[in-house]
Amino acid sequence: MADLVSHPDEVKVVSKRFGQGATNIDRYLELDGYKAVQKALTMQPDEIINLVKNSGLRGRGGAGFNTGLKWSFVPKQSAKPKYILCNGDESEPGTCKDRLIFEHDPHAIIEGVMIAGLAVGSQTGYIYVRGEYRYLLEIVQKAIADAYAKGFLGKNIFGSGKTFDIYWHGGAGAYEVGEESALMESLEGKRGIPRIRPPFPAVVGLWGGPTVINNAETLASVPHILLGGPEWYANLGTPKNGGTRLFCLGGNVAKPGVYELPMGYNLKKMIYDVGGGIPNGRKLKGVVPGGSSVAILTPDEIDVAMDFDSVLKAGSMLGSGGVVILDDTACIVKFALRTTKFYKHESCGWCIPCREGTDWLEKTLTRFHAGGGVKKDIDNMYYLSENMLGRTFCPLGDAAAMPIMAFVKKFRKEFEDHLDGKPCPFEKAGRAQEPVLA
């Protein structure tokens, strides 16, 4: 449904089958479908893990952990069943890529889950799709049913004597449920409150069994790596950052869309060449390079390779692949306020720094944006955010704090311009007070 775009610099791996009708299982088979899992069936579990490790594939959900390494933490022997859990909760503001994979290539995700299962010795996988993505859940339901009908899932898959089952699961609206331990709680039929770690899910996860949780794009990359080989995949990207990534260009950019570019692609080029630059003769004010949870980069910070390590060095994070571009008409205070409102809404309320911190930030920013700010608010917001960092049970607290610290640090003047009862310098027409009947 969502429009597809393309650019000559794209390297299509995960998006290779987009627009090719691959939701149909026979068409998927024509396009090398289910070859990778058959190859995996001929390999030893450790071989699969090492291959994925050496490919340099890192988690596409946000944290960028080496996927093969994560799989290697699952104990070989376990009294309880082991599980693979595909994270399709995609709700990080700015991010809309897993949606395209589910829409165009659901069998690649199924294959990825199966290969992960073979690698860690699990026989059961779950594919969790956020509640809003109902049409995608239906695509997944059909894809799973088709795979069972062909005998690719269930008992004796591909005549190997091995069993593998995959089940779908749907959410009902909650960003926090994308956090891995909250995701498990949700799948177990509970509120999405995170779990204390350690123990980590790889050891104690779903129903107490060892569980691998990976993002949908991570899993959809795995079959390509098995077929293309780890060297090929690693060489597409930069050292320790193998492959390609779906980048979701959005905001004030001429050609928004989801583009698959090599890891390490230059951000400036991404904005100006791939995205066609800033429209309406406007200038770039900043870019949030990895979903709303990461620090904004200013125009003089965008000559950076978009891989996990380089963006971290530049003071932000590669995050979820959502690249949100702001032109010079955007108000940073308002942007900060909208970002904070989101985290306040999504905080599960367990940790005091996150629950109270986001609430306090929202109140301050609301007052501030309305012209009621005082000078010491600016430092207070920074100080408060700094004190939320690392003091919570899950990373949502950090996600709420990091962007605010960057806004204050890098755009202090814009905050100061809102002081002394001055109306927001960027505000266009005021918001309608009363709805008017049409």
Partner 1 sequence: MKFSDKFEARFTEMLTHYPTQRSVLVPTLLYAQDEVGYLSDEVILELAERLALSELDVRNVISYYSMLTTKPRGKFNVQVCTNIACMLRGGEELLEHCERKLGVGNKGTTKDGMFTLEEVECIGACSWAPAVQVNYDFHENLTPEKMDEVLEQYRNKAAR
Ligand X SMILES: Cc1cc2nc3c(=O)[nH]c(=O)nc-3n(C[C@H](O)[C@H](O)[C@H](O)COP(=O)(O)O)c2cc1C
- Contact footprint for partner 1 (CB under 8 A): 1-3, 81, 90-96, 98-99, 126, 130-135, 167, 169-175, 186-192, 207, 248-252, 256-258, 288, 292, 322, 324-327, 330, 334-335, 338-339, 342, 345-346, 348, 431-432, 435-438
Least distance from C-beta 365 to ligand SF4, angstroms?
18
Position among 194, 223, 237, 403 found at the interface with ligand SF4 (CB under 6 A): 194
> In the complex, which residue's CB is closest to ligand SF4?
354
> Considering the rule CB under 6 A, would residue 342 count as an interface residue with ligand SF4?
no
397-426 binders of ligand SF4 (CB under 6 A)? 397
214 lies in the site for ligand X, by CB under 6 A? yes
Residue 5 burial (CB < 10 Å; 0-12/13-18/19+)?
A: middle
Least distance (Å) between residue 293 CB and ligand SF4: 12
Which is nearer to ligand X, 91 or 364 (by Cβ)?
A: 91
Q: Are 220 and 28 in contact (CB under 8 A)?
A: no
Does 354 participate in binding ligand SF4 (rule CB under 6 A)?
A: yes
Per the listing, tokens 């429009």 go with: 3
Place of tokens 């899950």: 394
The residue among 91 and 238 lying less far from partner 1, judged by its C-beta, is 91
- Contact with ligand X (CB under 6 A): which of 108, 213, 222, 306? 213
The CB-of-213 to ligand X minimum distance in angstroms stands at 5
What whole-number distance in Å separates Cα of residue 316 and Cα of residue 386?
Answer: 15
Strand 322-327 and strand 284-288: pairing?
A: antiparallel
Q: Which helix (H) or strand (E) holds 306?
A: strand 305-306
Task: Give the integer Cα–Cα distance in Å for 386 and 372.
Answer: 23
Residue 183 engages ligand SF4 in binding (rule: CB under 6 A): no
- Binding segment (CB under 6 A) for ligand SF4, from list 100-108, 136-144, 348-356, 401-409: 348-356
Nearer to ligand SF4, 109 or 354 (CB): 354
CA 271 from centre of chain: 19
Our CB check for ligand X shows the closer of 90 and 301 to be 90
Task: Please choose which of partner 1, ligand SF4, ligand X, none residue 65 contacts, taking the beta carbon within 5 to 8 angstroms, the exact cut-off set by kind.
Answer: ligand X
In angstroms, what is the minimal distance from the CB of 191 to partner 1? 4
How far apart (Å, rounded) are the C-alpha atoms in residues 274 and 257? 10
Q: How far is the CB of 381 from ligand SF4 (least distance, A)?
A: 18
- Rounded-to-integer distance, Cα 195 and Cα 203, Å: 13
Contact between 396 and ligand X per CB under 6 A: yes
321 binds ligand X (CB under 6 A): no
Q: By CB under 6 A, name the one of 350, 382, 407, 411 that touches ligand SF4.
A: 350
Do residues 122 and 83 make contact, with C-beta atoms less than 8 angstroms apart?
Answer: yes
Residue 384 binds to ligand SF4 (criterion: CB under 6 A)? no
H/E run at residue 357: helix 352-367
Which range binds ligand X by CB under 6 A, 172-180, 222-230, 322-330, 430-438?
172-180
Q: Does 293 bind ligand SF4 (CB under 6 A)?
A: no
Return the number of the residue (91 or 122) whose C-beta is nearest ligand X.
91
Residue 108 near ligand SF4 by CB under 6 A = no
**Measured distance CA(297)–CA(271) in Å, rounded:** 13
Angle value at C-alpha 83, between 80 and 84, nearest 5 degrees: 165
Radius of gyration of the chain (CA): 22
CB 251 within 8 A of CB 339: no
Cα torsion for 233, 237, 241, 246, to the nearest 10°? -90
Q: Are 339 and 292 in contact (CB under 8 A)?
A: yes
User: Out of 202, 302, 332, 394, which residue is the one contacting ligand SF4 (CB under 6 A)?
Assistant: 394
Per CB under 6 A, does 65 bind ligand X?
A: yes
Q: Which stretch binds ligand SF4 (CB under 6 A): 84-92, 253-261, 347-355, 360-368?
A: 347-355
With b for 16 or more beta-carbon neighbours within 10 A and e for fewer, the 220-258 pattern comes to bbbbbbbeeebeebbebbbeebbbbbbbbbbbbbeebbb
Given CA atoms 93, 296, 280, 9 in this order, what sign does their dihedral have? negative
Residues that bind ligand X (CB under 6 A): 59-63, 65, 87, 89-92, 175-176, 178-180, 213-215, 218, 394-396, 399
